[in-house]
Structure 1
Amino acid sequence: MQSPNDDRQYRLLTLDNEMQVLLISDPQTPKAAASLDINIGSGDNPEGRGGLAHFLEHMLFLGTEKYPNPAEYEQFITEHGGNRNAYTSMEHTNYFFDVDAAYLPEALDRFAQFFISPRFDEALVDKEKNAVQSEYQMGLKSDSRRGLDVLQQAMNPEHPFSQFTVGSLETLADRPDSSIRDELLAFYDSQYSANIMRLVVLGEESLDELEAMVVPMFSPVPNKSFQHQSIDAPLFASGELPALLQIQPQATRRLLQVLFPLGDYRDDYQAKPMSYLGNLVGHEGEGSLLSQLKAEGLAESLAAGSGLGWRGGSLFSVSVTLTEQGVANYDRVVQLLFAYLEVVREAGPKEWLYDEQARVADLAFRFKERAEPINYVASLASSMHYFAPEDVLRGNYMMTDYQAQMLREVVAQLTPDNALVVLDDQSVSTDKVSPYYGVPYSLAPASAAQLAGWEASPGDVALALPEPNEFIVDNVALVDVDQEMVGNPQRVLNEPRKRIWFAQDDEFRIPKGALYVNFRSPLAGQSAEQAARASLYTAVIRDQVNEYTYPALLAGLNFSFYKHAQGISLRISGYTDKQFVLLKDILEDIAEGDFEAQRVENIRKDMIRGLENAVAKRPSSQVFDDLRESLLRGEWGEQALIDALRNTDQATLGNYAEAFWQSATAEALVYGNYELPATKELAKMLDMVVPEGAPPQLPLLQVTRLTEGEQALYPVTVQHDDSVLAWYLQGAGNSWDDRAATALTAQIMKSGFFQQLRTEQQLGYIVQAFSWPQFDVPGLVMLIQSPVADGASLASAMQAFMAGVEGDLDEAQFARHQRALVNEINRPQKNLWERAEFYWQSIAKKRFEFDGREQLAAAVEALTMESWSAYYQEHFLSEARSLQVVAPGKWGKLPAGEQTRYSSAADIKASHGYYQVQ
């Protein structure tokens, strides 16, 4: 069964080799896509070979008997406008790609060979182990990976999920009695079987044409009639629960998790007991567990639901982000959780609550919108393992089987004696260290006193089940379309302090819309203090309105309120039926301007902690943040923002908010299933926060302007052994021609850059070259994070690659790259939200003709190989405008050359001119 809003055609096949295949015909799609999901993952690693399934995923990209060149697949996909990737989870390995629609047959043939005749070239096996090692080392400071490493030590060693997942040079090393290549072959030959594969192919061809294409390509995939063994071992050994697991994180992370091993309910997807329960425990409205935790100053956020699943069981998880007080009183947090679960147990299953969820899910399926083809096929391929054929498209949305007894059984298992309580904080006491990530931790049975405290009455607290959700849509009628109001938005209100743009949607025709408001002010980003206070203010407002915006979110109404470079944006999107009810409530809260002192303090501290945790981010991300700060006026480093937040209290924040709104102007877009009178209603509501009078002068956005031939170097400190180099090359100017030439350069570079520096030279796991315009000022970036090479070596490798780009390019390849880029620029918006975002960005840039895509595409098409080559030679080689941001890692070595060295992003901005942009 497919959504009434989905006009694609589907066909489900089972090939002679028992591979199940879903074909999707979409004649209008600009991109074709395919995904193959095999029900084999890290949980299937042979004992003692942690990471083997993940390593196998890497190796399948590196050449087949039919296409032996390891660069061939990557090159073909990139030259024809596509992307490719894969992931390995505990139970699945999923391979996927997209490509310009006309090239699906050739791409699919290359893809099919992964599962028919991979080469496992011995030299590449040795090289690619280094890539796995790089990925492993990259995660050494990742608290999510560190947490999993510790959790696996708490698991029953007989359970397959207790194995190391990523892999390393140690776990993938050759052994006297067995080479890793032999074990790869054995693993592939025994477990990569067609009967446990699910394939999804989406293309512009008819279903008959897709079937004629796919069947001969994938029928040769061998069927070994693989059968999974049942997992009889419990996730936690008998007698191990209840227990307290304490973890010392790398970052200043205050996290409490309570984990409950349950049965496997994935076959009960029509009932979805875990979804029902997760919705109750994770609710954020009045009377919720989170509401009480916030009232007591113990928590900032909460999430609940089923995450980990395996053949025979699942793990229900409740995760709470704690305040400092919450860490000190984590037993109280656990007590309140069990008190809330007792409320749920005593109330019993509520069919009306189940029906609310079912109704929202049904509406979501009924008005399901198009996703990116590559994401759509990857999701479907995984889902096919769990849903009946007739439910493949709808399974995730089904709640058609209310089973009260099943719901009672599930909640009955959420008790203290079946809980693993996990506390992440730097203050915890530890006595062990995890084997792969070196994480300090301790694991001990919960004491009798702890259990008694968790089970004790929480006192007089107002815990309750959610009230009926008033935001669930009642009216899904489509408004009449006025042909004068379709097409590009029109400015229907133009006052000194308020402008409103309006357009009706006549293409997607769903009862939804986008209502965006940009509140601009000169007080948003001219100093670190302004930036910090604007961010804190928006966080406080989001927290203040959360109890009533959360039910709206559940009902399909999305709300966001956030700081940007020139002010604050408010966005409401989703079903149009109740949007103005929600908007009125939010604007009234904003206009009232009252803040609770304790909540301001808790949020302020949480923001400071988040900024301090930047040191635990991936090194490449930290360096990239430094690059961004160097280029953009209004971007500030973590320490400057921390200092500003430390000097902000409730009174300071109140004064800032008052001054902001006194200086604010509003520009709005109303696009979708609306009628024109909605803009008048919006204008009246905006009067609650936007004053009358002449608007203040708004400063323009500014981007650092590098000079011709400049070689700038900015060394940064990152606490990590890996070196990182982000090499930014700015275009020669800010014209459409500059933007086109720079974007095309990035398109031409990205495949070869990855292949040469990642696959061949094995410089690191993160190896990327990409276009990176800042407020449309063109630029490109080469980025490598390396555990094996210093900054000077990375710069030399990048420079050598740049010098060879033209020599590796012929006219035919140039034409393919040019066409791929033009196709991507001109790609039609696939849903209402992409269209709204395009309109909104065009308005922000004052491109009121809404022709930016056409301008850029025309400039790309006008380039010849000769004219592009001349631009490349002059502006990216001989007279490059260059900025290298480098973290030297354990080597302490910087790129060589006569460069101007800067000590901070502020120095770079202070010593340069800038582009002024709208």
Structure 2
Amino acid sequence: MPLNHPRWPAKTLPIALLSLLLVACATLAPDYLAPAKSPNDARDYRLLTLDNQLQVLLISDPNSPTAAAALDIDAGSGDNPPGRDGLAHFLEHMLFLGTDKYPDPAAYEQFVTEHGGDRNAYTSFEHTNYFFDVDAPYLDPALDRFAQFFVAPRFDAEYVEREKNAVEAEYQMGLKSDPRRALDVLQDLINPEHPFSRFTVGSLETLADRPGAPVRDDLLAFYDSHYSANRMRLVVLGSESLDELQSMVEPKFAPVRNQSLQAEDISAPLFTPAELPLYVQIRPQAALRELQVMFPIPDYRDAYRSQPLAYLGNLVGHEGEGSLLSRLKAEGLAESLAAGTGLAWRGGGLFSVTVTLTEKGVTEHERVLQLLFAYLDMLREAGPKQWLYDEQSRLAALAFRFKEKGSAIGYVSQLADSMHEYAPADVLRGLYMMEDYDPEMLAGLLDAVRPQNAVVVLEDASVETDLESRYYQTPYAVEKFAGTVPEAWRRPVQADLFHLPAPNEFIPEDVSLVALDPNNPPVPAKVFDAPRREIWFAQDAQFRLPRGATYVNFRSPLVGQTAREAASAALYVSLLNDRVNELVYPASLAGLNFNLYKHAQGISVRVSGYTDKQSLLLDELLGVFRAPGFDPARFENIRQDRIRALRNAVAAPPSQQVMNDLRESLLHGSWGEVAMIAALEELSLADIQAYAADFWRSASAQALVYGNYSRDAVTVLAGQLETLLPAAAPAALPPLKVVELGAGESVLYPVEVSHDDALLAWYLQGAGNSWFDRAATAMTGQLVKSGFFQQLRTEQQLGYIVSAFSWPQLDVPGLVMLIQSPVADTAALATAMDTFMRGVPGTLDEAQFERNKRALVNEILRPHQNLWQRAEFYWQSIAKQQYRFDSRDALAAAVEALTLAQWQDYYRQTFLEERHSLQVAAPGAAGVLPEGAARTVESAEALKRGHPAYELP
């Protein structure tokens, strides 16, 4: 598959030339421009440049309940001065911690949280991107606080010292991360003249004060030398009119200084030609088997209208018949493959092919290289093909034509980045443009991806190493061939192993809208009910796109009652996904998505996207389900791949591991890695075939058909399901169960995580499972999340991962406090959490309670932004037997009815005096566990065994 959809920025064009490009753009006024937008986009847009040369995109969406803004500056970790690695990242942290107008470092976070929003930022090689969202009526005051980051940040010396610890904690958190460890190796090998060779995160060492060079002075110098208005791009989305938004933005951002700074191109090559090809071996911490081949290429970002990298990535990453991956799987060498570009800079980029290997693939990785280079030879020999380009272009145009709304905060963040990348006319559509077929450019790109230009990286536990990377202590070895391609990479392969993809039969031809039935129900209705088959149906009357969702849940009692059942179901699903991959891959390229997955009560199939060819795809899929014909060799590779994935759980972020342990301890039918690995190791192909037969004999189907369908789609689906399910009475399903902790119960569950940091996830369950309990617990999560972060992270500097949040499991309410700390043990973390919780009621007044209540209600009732969000809500409601589809209204009403006095009573009793408490603790290097728990359990199963449980449908 392609790694991602590449983006290539256009240079900013002089205003005099814009009129030549704005064929599809409306003129708003002499000084304003509007970018070309999707026909499906009802929002209004305005591009303007402030007097200080800050470029702004305004978006008016009167129906949006959420406002959002983002500012992107084209300065990032690649601009770190020598000797100050991580400075750009550190600066990103510091801008959140107080400005001259709003000096309180907690003020911004608190305001955004109390008004239903979120905020964050990221630092990449070339960019730093700041963004927030908030309930729509509060955009003006939120934007005023945000603007001050770029007008008058304080860089308070006290918080400079404190926040260095947060950067250090983030660095320490990544020490076990294989992607970061591999990047550290790559940066060791990159040309030291290229800024990408430098450490990006930062640490106490790189950010330490030095004689004559305090880090605060370097922060100020970096800010002054890079944070100039002309290098910034601002996007603001609100419910106000464009004129109102402009009046809001101009006075707030006009004071941002313009120093007329320009980003410099990077002339140094990433690798000097004499070093290539390069062969690197890395020993990962996880059970990772991966081969990555990277090719330095020119900077194609000005060519976004041609998108040569998208063309090549789609071909190399193709998964259909005749593809590179198809051949690798046939020879038992690989499980997956991705191709595309993920790194580009002013002056160059990398095209990368990443192959997940089997054990055989590791042993025979040179054969993998032979096949890759032979496939690229085939592409060069075939030459660029306009019909393939036109097919990709057609799909990109369809995607833009029927583009749907997503989250406001994600949208503004992406657009602020895009404003650096594309010409003004193309800010919205640049990602989707593929209209200038340039065979010479494509041929030049193909010429660059040759073995003599390759950096080959093999990651496996078996490799022999003699070097260690500087910051992450990653073991590796390197061999430089100095212009000579190893013979083993170039051995010829059979000429007919590969061919170009066939024309895609799943590209939609009919994108018309089905007429709405006058009797169309406002929410899905059960329109087909037969033994073992139940179908819910509604036409989408709001979004009106030629798309739809057909979801089928095959429920069975044989899915999770034992670890063997859970492992069998998971392995069976993996085998089915592999079996249909070559069939569904072209469909996925054509905007027709397929997802097959195991869940607590069965196996679900989802087909979504353009409705034109959905029935054809589903019919072919169900045909495979009836007689899959699994290959024994593929079975063994997939079984081993699942085992390896489970073993790799130790390489997941430590906080994720602890949360997984917490979830497993609460949910019946959830099994840990050890039990699942043991079960998988015993399963044979015959066992899976027998399991599949038993599963289908016991299964019943519940389906949702929602979107651009006529009622005939229900009849077709009912017939398709009839061929798969027997006519006998359905088997009884066991209920879903969540552990019920008693009032005053205190349980400690120590877990092992391979990391020096201490981790504590403290779960406090609600007092019951009524709507009142759910509302009071959700309100608690809303009230504590901002203060918890501010007190325990910003002030006390206990770690980088510090959060408190509402965490319902199957609607059973609960609250989680989570900290990963390199400086405190879990006993100290528990004390800090308890101290914070006991101080919450005393800091809360009526006005603050009402602000947070309104923010929570708005979040609960936030309108669905697209067809998929609504389909998901309907689907989850059906699964929970909430057939009135009113769960959001019920929860919001319960929150609305909650008074401050009621909440205080509930909080005091449930979260202070009679806690329903479970602490999952990983002691790390300190080896210290929290004290005071009445009971310690050695496993998740020990907690669930004999424990009372909430039973849900």
Question: Smaller-chain TM-score range?
Answer: over 0.9
CA distance in 1, matches of 2:623, 2:707: 24
Match of 2:497 in 1: 462
Amino acid corresponding to residue 552 of structure 1 in structure 2: A
Match of 2:564 in 1: 529
CA contact (8 A) 2:274 2:482 kept: no
Task: State the TM-score, normalized to the length of structure 2.
Answer: 0.96
1:180 positional shift: 0.3
Q: Note if 1:795 corresponds to 2:797.
A: no
CA contact (8 A) 1:486 1:505 kept: no
CA contact (8 A) 1:22 1:201 kept: yes
Q: Note if 1:415 corresponds to 2:455.
A: no
Q: Note if 1:870 corresponds to 2:905.
A: yes
Report 1:353-392 matches (<5 A): 353-392=388-427
Match of 2:476 in 1: 441
Q: Note if 1:724 corresponds to 2:772.
A: no
CA contact (8 A) 1:278 1:304 kept: yes
Segment drifting more, 204-213 vs 478-487:
478-487
SS of the aligned residue for 2:176 comes to coil
Report 1:703-722 matches (<5 A): 703-722=738-757
Q: Note if 1:651 corresponds to 2:695.
A: no
Match of 2:700 in 1: 665
Q: Note if 1:4 corresponds to 2:39.
A: yes
SS of the aligned residue for 1:303 comes to strand
SS of the aligned residue for 2:165 comes to helix
CA contact (8 A) 1:245 1:442 kept: yes
CA distance in 1, matches of 2:561, 2:612: 39
Sequence identity (%): 64
Match of 1:136 in 2: 171
Match of 1:574 in 2: 609
1:899 positional shift: 2.2
Match of 2:98 in 1: 63
CA contact (8 A) 1:486 1:506 kept: no
1:483 positional shift: 2.8
Report 1:147-546 matches (<5 A): 147-446=182-481, 451-459=486-494, 461-546=496-581
Match of 2:586 in 1: 551
1:449 positional shift: 8.7
CA distance in 1, matches of 2:725, 2:481: 55
SS of the aligned residue for 1:697 comes to coil
1:618 positional shift: 1.2
Select which of 767, 774, 783 maps to 2:818. Answer: 783
CA distance in 1, matches of 2:561, 2:386: 53
CA distance in 1, matches of 2:232, 2:330: 49
Q: Note if 1:21 corresponds to 2:56.
A: yes
Could you tell me which runs of 5 or more consecutive residues in structure 2 were left unpaired when the two chains were aligned. 1-35
1:484 positional shift: 1.4
Number of aligned pairs?
918
Match of 1:813 in 2: 848
CA distance in 2, matches of 1:435, 1:899: 45
CA distance in 2, matches of 1:266, 1:447: 29
Q: Note if 1:41 corresponds to 2:76.
A: yes
CA contact (8 A) 1:724 1:785 kept: yes
Match of 1:686 in 2: 721
Could you tell me which runs of 5 or more consecutive residues in structure 1 were left unpaired when the two chains were aligned. none
Select which of 93, 99, 109 maps to 2:128. Answer: 93
1:201 positional shift: 0.2
CA distance in 2, matches of 1:370, 1:118: 33
Amino acid corresponding to residue 897 of structure 2 in structure 1: A
CA distance in 2, matches of 1:779, 1:23: 39
CA contact (8 A) 1:479 1:673 kept: yes
CA distance in 2, matches of 1:104, 1:334: 53
1:230 positional shift: 1.9
Match of 1:763 in 2: 798
CA distance in 2, matches of 1:743, 1:599: 46
CA distance in 1, matches of 2:821, 2:382: 55
CA contact (8 A) 2:208 2:214 kept: yes
Change (3 A) 1:457 1:448: farther
CA contact (8 A) 2:451 2:485 kept: no
Amino acid corresponding to residue 308 of structure 1 in structure 2: L
CA distance in 2, matches of 1:461, 1:636: 46
Note the aligned Cα RMSD (angstroms): 0.9
1:594 positional shift: 1.5
1:386 positional shift: 1.1
CA distance in 1, matches of 2:475, 2:389: 42
SS of the aligned residue for 2:819 comes to strand
Select which of 644, 655, 672 maps to 1:609. Answer: 644
- Cα deviation 1:795-824 (Å, max 9, x = unaligned): 000000000111111110000000000001
Amino acid corresponding to residue 870 of structure 2 in structure 1: R
SS of the aligned residue for 1:854 comes to helix
Match of 1:81 in 2: 116
1:691 positional shift: 1.1
CA distance in 2, matches of 1:881, 1:578: 51
CA distance in 1, matches of 2:266, 2:934: 60
SS of the aligned residue for 1:479 comes to coil
SS of the aligned residue for 1:485 comes to coil
CA distance in 1, matches of 2:83, 2:946: 56
CA distance in 1, matches of 2:728, 2:307: 55
1:617 positional shift: 1.3
Report 1:872-911 matches (<5 A): 872-911=907-946
Match of 2:5 in 1: none
CA distance in 2, matches of 1:545, 1:446: 41
1:462 positional shift: 2.0
CA contact (8 A) 2:118 2:132 kept: yes
CA distance in 2, matches of 1:338, 1:650: 34
CA distance in 2, matches of 1:746, 1:175: 42
1:689 positional shift: 1.6
CA contact (8 A) 2:533 2:702 kept: yes
- Cα deviation 1:813-859 (Å, max 9, x = unaligned): 00000000000111110100000001001101101111101100000
Amino acid corresponding to residue 731 of structure 1 in structure 2: G
Match of 1:846 in 2: 881
CA distance in 2, matches of 1:449, 1:419: 11
Change (3 A) 1:330 1:461: farther
SS of the aligned residue for 1:661 comes to helix
1:458 positional shift: 1.4
SS of the aligned residue for 2:903 comes to helix
SS of the aligned residue for 2:630 comes to coil
CA distance in 2, matches of 1:764, 1:874: 29
Amino acid corresponding to residue 444 of structure 2 in structure 1: E
1:467 positional shift: 0.5
Task: State the TM-score, normalized to the length of structure 1.
Answer: 0.99
Match of 1:742 in 2: 777
CA contact (8 A) 2:536 2:705 kept: yes
Amino acid corresponding to residue 61 of structure 1 in structure 2: F
CA contact (8 A) 1:292 1:461 kept: no
Match of 1:124 in 2: 159
CA contact (8 A) 1:593 1:654 kept: no
1:447 positional shift: 8.5
Segment drifting more, 222-231 vs 859-868:
222-231
1:453 positional shift: 2.3
Change (3 A) 1:517 1:474: same
